[in-house]
């Protein structure tokens, strides 16, 4: 026990020291909006340190090992020696998006100029916007993250310098999706801290697709935080396609604050990655808001995917739907913790949650834990979790019709995943994900793009 404590302390102290040593570099060039939150955040981090098994919220994912390794930290923007616009081409046909590249958490300096953005829409680098138009983010940045108890969110806040920023003014329907390509590109193990902020004003519409890729086969660790503000009556879609190398470690914490009558669609597809922990926190802060929260993962080898959700119903008459599905092969491990909290006055809440899992081997492992805390009396809440194998009766039925075993299995797994895929509200993306899922299941998916770097 002492050993564990020492390790945990040593690991956490490493990050405190790193902060103290680099404090002036972090501040340099960053806006006061970012800098003013650092000291409080690092203290919050130090109070708990890197979460270990004893942290109930992280009991299925051991992060001490991951954070204990040596990484290179990047506290100043590094020039990229190739033109990433050339190296990276997403070949999704019919998916017409504004494409933004980020490298190791930093906004790529040679991103193409975005043409034809609707009036007032701002898409760009968090660092740059914080410096040039701090008034745009002052009332939003860290307003959700600061309320979190998660030490890793605090760690991000302490180190945050750059990331993706988007602002859609009220009444603007921004139809064309913005695709944010997060690239990890380094010769050696690199640590990235990315901070994103998305603000959708009242009655606006916005769609963002995050694609996480690694252009390296070496180990890496990313600790990202995204805050999304969905204004009253706004409709916002945020999708994430996670396709990193199997030595990567990624912790993504995404916060959504929903205004009244707003509508959120969040979809996360974890295709490849070594260790993935997705924290997804929704705060329903206006009446009649709707949150649709979907996720799926496909794991094999020794992959580890842990999804943690917290849907906070603070106001009456809101609806939340959660559906997470996982297909686990070989020695992979998955976890799902889904928390729904209905506050005392949030009457007429409808909150639904489902988690279905298929284990393809005896050695794959799934942990699932629904947590419902209901403090109101007039609510409709449900949750259900299943862990099972491929339906052998269905498999035989298909084979009896002449469909080969491998194809039949594929059709069944596709069907399993499709229940999630069909919820995607951008059609070309839906088709693309269907295709990626099929490739992933067939073991043909290495990278989902044309990128050979």
Q: Which residues bind another protein (CB under 8 A)?
A: 391-394, 396-405, 407-408, 411-412, 414-416, 418-419
Dist CA 212 CA 182 (whole Å): 5
Dist CA 294 CA 421 (whole Å): 9
The CB-of-409 to another protein minimum distance in angstroms stands at: 12
The CB-of-442 to another protein minimum distance in angstroms stands at: 15
Q: Which one, 122 or 394, has the nearer CB to another protein?
A: 394
Q: Which one, 387 or 412, has the nearer CB to another protein?
A: 412
Pairing, β 379-388 against β 333-342: unpaired
Q: Which one, 41 or 408, has the nearer CB to another protein?
A: 408
The CB-of-264 to another protein minimum distance in angstroms stands at: 25
Dist CA 394 CA 450 (whole Å): 36
C-alpha pair distances (Å), 353 with each of 257, 292, 305, 379, 451 = 19, 10, 18, 14, 37
The CB-of-402 to another protein minimum distance in angstroms stands at: 4
Dist CA 282 CA 311 (whole Å): 5
Residue 206 and residue 166 in contact, taking contact as beta carbons nearer than 8 Å: yes
The distance from CA 347 to its chain's CA centroid, rounded to whole angstroms, is 30
Residue 362 and residue 354 in contact, taking contact as beta carbons nearer than 8 Å: no
Dist CA 146 CA 38 (whole Å): 11
Q: Which one, 59 or 418, has the nearer CB to another protein?
A: 418
Q: Which one, 46 or 419, has the nearer CB to another protein?
A: 419
Q: Which one, 439 or 447, has the nearer CB to another protein?
A: 439
Q: Which one, 418 or 439, has the nearer CB to another protein?
A: 418
C-alpha pair distances (Å), 418 with each of 133, 216, 231, 434 = 42, 30, 30, 7
Query: Phi first, then psi: what are they for 118, rounded to 5°?
Result: -60, 155
The CB-of-406 to another protein minimum distance in angstroms stands at: 10
Nearest Cα to Cα of residue 287 among 262, 305, 321, 323: 262
The CB-of-439 to another protein minimum distance in angstroms stands at: 17
The CB-of-400 to another protein minimum distance in angstroms stands at: 5
Q: Which one, 393 or 444, has the nearer CB to another protein?
A: 393
The CB-of-75 to another protein minimum distance in angstroms stands at: 48
DSSP H helical ranges for 114-193: 126-132, 134-137, 151-159
């Amino acid at each position: 026990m002492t050993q564990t404590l020492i390790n945990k302390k040593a690991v956490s102290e490493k990050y405190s020291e790193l902060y103290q040593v680099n404090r002036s570099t972090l501040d340099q060039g960053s806006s006061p909006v970012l800098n003013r939150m650092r000291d409080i955040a690092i203290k919050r981090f130090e109070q708990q340190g890197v979460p270990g098994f004893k942290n109930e919220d992280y009991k299925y994912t051991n992060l001490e090992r991951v954070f204990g390794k040596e990484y290179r930290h990047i506290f100043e923007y590094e020039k990229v020696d190739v033109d990433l616009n050339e190296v990276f081409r997403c070949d999704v046909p019919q998916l017409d998006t504004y494409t933004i590249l980020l490298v190791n958490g930093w906004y790529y300096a040679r991103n193409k100029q975005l043409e034809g953005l609707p009036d007032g829409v701002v898409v760009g680098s968090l660092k740059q916007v914080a410096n040039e138009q701090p008034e745009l983010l002052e009332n939003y940045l860290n307003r959700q993250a600061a309320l979190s108890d998660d030490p890793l969110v605090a760690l991000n806040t302490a180190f945050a310098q750059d990331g993706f920023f988007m602002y859609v003014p009220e009444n603007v329907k921004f139809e064309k999706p913005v695709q944010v390509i997060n690239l990890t590109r380094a010769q050696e193990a690199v640590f990235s801290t990315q901070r994103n902020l998305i603000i959708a004003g009242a009655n606006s519409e916005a769609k963002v697709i995050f694609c996480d890729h690694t252009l390296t086969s070496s180990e890496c660790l990313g600790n990202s935080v995204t805050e999304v503000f969905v204004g009253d009556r706004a409709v916002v879609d945020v999708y994430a396609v996670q396709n990193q190398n199997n030595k990567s470690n990624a912790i993504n914490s995404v916060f959504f604050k929903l205004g009244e009558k707003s509508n959120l669609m969040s979809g996360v597809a974890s295709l490849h990655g070594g260790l993935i922990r997705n924290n997804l926190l929704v705060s329903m802060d206006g009446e009649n808001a709707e949150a649709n929260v979907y996720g799926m993962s496909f794991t094999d080898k020794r992959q580890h995917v842990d999804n943690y959700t917290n849907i906070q119903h603070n106001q009456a008459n809101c609806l939340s739907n959660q559906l997470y599905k996982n297909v686990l092969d070989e020695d992979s491990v998955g976890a799902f913790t889904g928390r729904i909290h209905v506050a005392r006055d949030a009457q007429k809440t409808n909150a639904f949650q489902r988690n279905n899992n298929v284990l393809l081997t005896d050695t794959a492992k799934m942990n699932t834990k629904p947590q419902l805390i209901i403090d109101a009396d007039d609510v409709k809440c449900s949750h259900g979790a299943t862990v099972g194998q491929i339906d052998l009766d269905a498999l035989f039925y298909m084979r009896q019709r002449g469909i080969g075993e491998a194809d039949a299995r594929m059709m069944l797994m596709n069907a399993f995943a499709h229940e999630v895929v069909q919820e995607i509200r951008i059609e070309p993306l839906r088709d693309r994900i269907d295709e990626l899922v099929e490739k992933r299941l067939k073991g043909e998916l290495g990278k989902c793009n044309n990128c050979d770097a």
